[in-house]
Structure 1
């Protein structure tokens, strides 16, 4: 929704003035920093015990993959329980699990099992938080709040990885895990103290009622807000809507853009560069995402963000295509950063998705989108790894870029066609 003429677009200071949003923003940062330090701690701990790169990579993958099942199976809880309660209970459960993982004598199989449960529990927590932010912030403020969270999350990841090695070296792996447990306990206390209780979302809409919603790129739509039938009713509602399906596909393009991160080590070897280059390559993409998100959120108006969603999605893969020319380290870092910068269009994707989906289905919808994104990233990395058996890392990355560009162009044409078919479509 576009602000009235003459009213400036909201800025970061504006959304931070909303206390509940500020609280969620701060606890999210400190928890994410703890998570990144814990990932480093787990990698060090497992490698020290096993001296196996495969075991280390497997445990690292467990910090992401269980979230796919968690989002699908537990995502409906975010709409069937008060969202503040989901956040508090989720934080307390993870605090206990991480505290148990910090026990020095714990066997590796038990460590892995606790990790799977912790990541699974974290999936509905993330969906509930995102849905709650949409409840807290007015519609015009939501993209700005989303952009601020995305930018600070990227910064926290970079800082967390950088500080993780130092923290583990100084504190030890087990103490670092205990610190992460403490961040979840603090988060639960702060959320319980400073966030207002709200009713269960699915019980707040009378059966048969409808709402009219409008985004910056779609016409006003009347959407049903009746409670979904069955545990996965929300997922069926999302997948049954053509506009929501299209937005999901736009978001899942990121599954191809993460390929350079998975191939950072072999790409550095192809460039005859050392281990330092691996870290530089890994940092390039997130740095671009950080800068691109800030620019997309703060320099573009709401209608412009809507119009550029498709072009930016298409352009995301173009810098990666240029990797086929095997540029040097400095230039390839610039290409990775440029690809990351174009992913700022995801802010508009999430904004339109949240605007279109009924409030009491919002948690399930976000959980479904997150599960699909994680699956797309896993599939993209797996496919890229298989391709490197036949292609050089540079050509594999270029192939991922070309696929992303082709998919972005196809989805953009479908988006344009949808708007032309709607006689009252508007870009305002």
Structure 2
């Protein structure tokens, strides 16, 4: 029986996940700190020079557009190449892009250049964030996936969403070029930390998972997951999509992820305006508001692996996503910054209650030679929908109001989570 089929009996003691994982963790921490700075700084630059809801939403849409355009071919690339080099190269590209932007945008900040930078960073992110999760099942034992994903999520939240945004607000108050250069230096550090990690190839060079466990091989695979006859890119893409579509649990959780991505993007693209116009906060206050949500997510990243020891993966994920929708509604209805921060903190806990179990579930159910492609389909569903969500958020704000975006989207997420995940029970490993 798959370990996700029933409440886990694993103990809650601290587990040493090994040096390769720690190297990946350190690199992820550095790159997420860079993410926190750039994702906070770019909207602030747009608001300062182009204070229009559609222009602000457009930045998020452009940044997430590469997931819609390139997610599927990137999954093939991740399964064919050394995943470590993909992550390393992506961080190096982001470091160079921000170093150049620090010089170009020091004086003039036209919208087209801000959009171009966001798009370039989005392409690099598509590569890195598909390859890194596909590496994880090769670095840790299957039974420790929730803990490994939880620790990576904690690093992402603490540095990318708690430390990064306030630091970006502080640096932006001094000089935008300094903030961009700092983000570039962090990406460069992330690349350097992966140099000494052993190569982690995709299909054809992959060995057994830690602990000796291997998922079922896909048709056409040889021993150890090596492909006997590799087809073209389109054939590889179709193979990954077929695997997902034939698996009911993957189908339904990916549909829920698509809805979650739409809601997250619609609300996140408007958060800077909610902070500025509705709550009357400064740039630093906006960073602190984001940090409140991140604090809840840190708590969630600690609680969720422990909750997964006692609850089934499906049940934990279903009710966490439902509660996240309620938190969005409360955020939109919050009359002041304190209550908005509480709502964001609660949402952070619930988002981790969805993300960690579902990511671990996909890693556990996917054969080694399909990890990159299944991850790319997952990212396409959850992040590829974000450009659409960002634009919808801007349009809803124009038609209704900025707070209404959060209320409407939260209600839709709550209803959608209950409907989409209702057919799943506690045995998610069947087709």
Alignment TM-score, normalising by the size of structure 1: 0.79
Whether the 8 Å CA contact 2:257–2:382 is kept in 1: the answer is: yes
What is the CA–CA distance in structure 2 between the aligned matches of 1:45 and 1:110, rounded to whole Å?
11
**Quick one: which of 346, 364, 369 aligns to 1:338?**
346
What is the CA–CA distance in structure 2 between the aligned matches of 1:128 and 1:9, rounded to whole Å?
28
What is the CA–CA distance in structure 1 between the aligned matches of 2:260 and 2:9, rounded to whole Å?
36
> Any residues of structure 2 matched to 1:41-56 within 5 Å, and which?
41-42=41-42, 51-54=49-52
What is the CA–CA distance in structure 1 between the aligned matches of 2:141 and 2:355, rounded to whole Å?
19
**Is it true that 1:166 corresponds to 2:173 in the alignment?**
no
What is the CA–CA distance in structure 2 between the aligned matches of 1:377 and 1:342, rounded to whole Å?
19
What is the CA–CA distance in structure 2 between the aligned matches of 1:35 and 1:268, rounded to whole Å?
20
What is the CA–CA distance in structure 2 between the aligned matches of 1:409 and 1:235, rounded to whole Å?
27
**Is it true that 1:14 corresponds to 2:53 in the alignment?**
no
What is the CA–CA distance in structure 2 between the aligned matches of 1:118 and 1:421, rounded to whole Å?
36
Provide the secondary structure at the position in 2 that maps to 1:197.
Answer: coil
**Quick one: which of 298, 301, 310 aligns to 1:290?**
298
Which residue of structure 2 lines up, in the alignment, with residue 314 of structure 1? Answer: 322
Whether the 8 Å CA contact 1:257–1:340 is kept in 2: the answer is: no
Whether the 8 Å CA contact 1:238–1:245 is kept in 2: the answer is: no
What is the CA–CA distance in structure 1 between the aligned matches of 2:317 and 2:120, rounded to whole Å?
36
Gap change, CA 1:187 and 1:278, over 3 Å in 2 = closer
Which residue of structure 1 lines up, in the alignment, with residue 146 of structure 2? Answer: 143
**Is it true that 1:252 corresponds to 2:263 in the alignment?**
no
Gap change, CA 1:404 and 1:103, over 3 Å in 2 = same
What is the CA–CA distance in structure 2 between the aligned matches of 1:78 and 1:114, rounded to whole Å?
24
* Residue 131 of structure 1: how far off its partner (Å): 0.8
Show structure 1 runs of 5+ residues with no match: 206-210, 214-220
* Residue 223 of structure 1: how far off its partner (Å): 5.3
What is the CA–CA distance in structure 1 between the aligned matches of 2:173 and 2:275, rounded to whole Å?
25
* Residue 398 of structure 1: how far off its partner (Å): 2.3
* Residue 415 of structure 1: how far off its partner (Å): 0.9
* Residue 316 of structure 1: how far off its partner (Å): 2.3
Alignment TM-score, normalising by the size of structure 2: 0.79
Show structure 2 runs of 5+ residues with no match: 208-212, 222-226
Deviations 1:301-350 (A, max 9, x none): 16444432222222321233456866554334323332332222221111
Gap change, CA 1:127 and 1:272, over 3 Å in 2 = closer
Gap change, CA 1:245 and 1:346, over 3 Å in 2 = same
What is the CA–CA distance in structure 1 between the aligned matches of 2:180 and 2:21, rounded to whole Å?
27
Whether the 8 Å CA contact 2:330–2:407 is kept in 1: the answer is: yes
* Residue 187 of structure 1: how far off its partner (Å): 2.6
Gap change, CA 1:421 and 1:183, over 3 Å in 2 = closer
What is the CA–CA distance in structure 2 between the aligned matches of 1:274 and 1:6, rounded to whole Å?
46
RMSD: 3.6
**Is it true that 1:263 corresponds to 2:270 in the alignment?**
yes
Structure (1 or 2) with the larger CA radius of gyration: 1
Count of residues in correspondence between the two structures: 403
